[in-house]
Structure 1
């Protein structure tokens, strides 16, 4: 597991440092909670790990739990040392360094304001005008973005929830209920315009009489009353041909309890199939697949239902680690099986030619990028040479790892990973 480090809290010009033991020992739990409660919204907090940078922390309060906890400032994980509980890949190692600064506005209190491609207030833009008009051939992204797309938001929330990271101590603990609770918590300090994002979220509930199902009903009722759009994040139901045929008309998801039935806007599923060919191919082969859907709520004489106006798809492993190909899935599963610690950099809405490692080992003396080369067409081989030169310059020859899956795609051909420290 990653380490807990001392935390320095500055409140009313008084500076105090709280040890890792005080933060974690059961004996001090009430005292630590009282300390966080006093600091909530008032103090400046900094992590005491050996990383470089401000290492600012925020106190988060989860409604209904009566509990306070610490969280890193958004996209600041790279400032922490790789043994720190708040570590994540730095923005330069993810798509967050590729044009998202204009759509992610960090606030002094640690909260974040985002600008979504489609606003969350229905009366601002009618649905027929709000939904992006995407040509069959997607345009190449620009080097900067004026708004965040749904896939970018899904990547951001996955990163903030820490679901793109793995450590051996997570084994057996990353259940679906836990993963989606982390996603819910990740939205607590995020605002879309004047709306707190957590209030606009519909997340999986695995039972009709669960707290999560009741929460979905309450949020949907409030959004319907205020005419706010909602965001639904849920796994697609396991593939069957019947479900695939129905998808053009109605979403089929797991963990649907407390959610309204979601009907698809004409042409949306066809557009999604074109845009996310690899992800939906993996879904058809039985792999885990998560959808993020922006919906508008409607009320008929009998019930409340939802109309989907935009969506995006992401493939995940059984441990909720995002992957972009079957080769990446092999690597992620093997790293988990070997008890390694690693992160998966996410692309967000970044430009497509930004060099991002497929994975980063974090239990080595220093971070080690892992790269999978899965094709051998001319354009890809040119890109491969550019990546090799980039990694050699940044990490030195032998300072990074690769698997040439295009030469031998058998899982047994995967080279040994660099040794853990």
Structure 2
């Protein structure tokens, strides 16, 4: 049972009139206070499908009590910490996060299509001032709560939930003083009986791609699950699930770069039939009506939609999702792969919350030194370390 202060009235989430109070708060745009601590933490009411729920505001997870379901582990243990105040700035009054991007949402009409992320390794810059395309995908996933897992979620997380939570997260973000939700398209779950209506809504949502006939082209962001890549004349077609009959065109040079840069993600996806491959892309409309990919990045997620960056994380998450403890998957954002992060955090572990670190084979002295510094900085958390080049996975129950 959780207690909230809603429009001056204290209520619990199991009270008979709780949904009525949420309805009034949603109508009035009132912010409930989570009463997990003495000060109370501001939250907001969101509509997920046809259900009203209370969600934490961007980047406020650390303000909640450690026992509260809305609590988030320390940001400095993942790649999110270095971005705070630079690439990501919280506006407490508006309850939104203003983002700085290192890619454009417009392009000159004479330029070619088909970049693969930024022209840096793995489309990631070690730069805390701006978000790369993949960094934005990580932030959307993080703020959607899709990095968290409890036994309660088993069998209940599908594209329907992913779609609604991504959309809601985008409404709490702004880019260039515009809501990110206005520039982001996430395909809604496809239902054959509603095919015509879904296609009409999709055409309307993507119509800005085809509006202007002069000046820079408007680009939009698309986040979706890749169904397959299909050969086309002079390129590839990227086919997204829940968008039957719709194709995204990627030029051949960009396709070759994509295969090189995201070889790990593609291999992880191809080696496990239960995994999902998530694409984030900036897309443009052509005079012929074809939608082309201007820039693209990939992320592999497990059957439970938890992000993974290698087979070791995949094995670790497979173990953890069978346990009852809450877990939070760490994300790299703009951190280089040569830098450590807490791959997973178990916030409810006792007697201390636990950070789980995976040390890759061939990690150098700088990696080890940074890892020791990270662990020493959090004496309130215990550390679990798996040195993949030296031993099998250590026990998780110790």
Same fold (TM over 0.5): yes
Q: Could you tell me whether the CA contact under 8 Å between 2:116 and 2:258 is conserved in 1?
A: no
The equivalent residue for 1:171 is 154
TM-score (norm 2): 0.84
Q: 1:100: how far off?
A: 4.8
The equivalent residue for 1:37 is 27
**Residues in 1 aligned to 2:171 and 2:17: alpha-carbon distance in whole angstroms:** 28
Verify: 1:414 aligned to 2:397, yes or no.
no
SS of structure 1 residue aligned to 2:58 = coil
Verify: 1:120 aligned to 2:105, yes or no.
yes
From the two aligned structures, give the one with the greater strand fraction: 2
Q: Select the residue among 140, 149, 164 that pairs with 1:157.
A: 140
Q: Select the residue among 57, 82, 103 that pairs with 1:73.
A: 57
**Residues in 1 aligned to 2:234 and 2:263: alpha-carbon distance in whole angstroms:** 15
The equivalent residue for 1:12 is none
Pair 1:415–1:50, CA change in 2 (3 A): farther
Q: Could you tell me whether the CA contact under 8 Å between 2:116 and 2:297 is conserved in 1?
A: no
Q: Could you tell me whether the CA contact under 8 Å between 1:59 and 1:71 is conserved in 2?
A: yes
Q: Could you tell me whether the CA contact under 8 Å between 2:283 and 2:291 is conserved in 1?
A: yes
Q: Could you tell me whether the CA contact under 8 Å between 2:113 and 2:292 is conserved in 1?
A: no
**Residues in 1 aligned to 2:254 and 2:43: alpha-carbon distance in whole angstroms:** 40
List structure 1 segments (4+ residues) > 6 angstroms apart after TM superposition: 244-247
Q: Select the residue among 349, 352, 361 that pairs with 1:364.
A: 349
Q: Could you tell me whether the CA contact under 8 Å between 2:116 and 2:296 is conserved in 1?
A: no
Q: Could you tell me whether the CA contact under 8 Å between 1:158 and 1:183 is conserved in 2?
A: yes
The equivalent residue for 1:4 is 2
Q: 1:334: how far off?
A: 0.9
Q: 1:194: how far off?
A: 4.5
Q: Could you tell me whether the CA contact under 8 Å between 2:114 and 2:251 is conserved in 1?
A: no
**Residues in 2 aligned to 1:350 and 1:57: alpha-carbon distance in whole angstroms:** 29
**Residues in 1 aligned to 2:69 and 2:181: alpha-carbon distance in whole angstroms:** 23
Q: 1:155: how far off?
A: 0.4
State the Cα deviation string for residues 285-335 of structure 1 (Å, max 9, x = none): 2342111111002242xxx32110101111111000001111111111111
The equivalent residue for 1:313 is 298
Pair 1:248–1:335, CA change in 2 (3 A): farther
**Residues in 2 aligned to 1:25 and 1:212: alpha-carbon distance in whole angstroms:** 36
Structure 1, 200-209 or 103-112: larger mean CA deviation: 200-209
Structure 1, 203-212 or 125-134: larger mean CA deviation: 125-134
Q: Could you tell me whether the CA contact under 8 Å between 1:290 and 1:313 is conserved in 2?
A: yes
SS of structure 2 residue aligned to 1:215 = helix
The equivalent residue for 1:328 is 313
**Residues in 2 aligned to 1:392 and 1:104: alpha-carbon distance in whole angstroms:** 25
Aligned residues: 387
**Residues in 2 aligned to 1:89 and 1:331: alpha-carbon distance in whole angstroms:** 18
Unaligned runs of 5+ in 1: 10-15
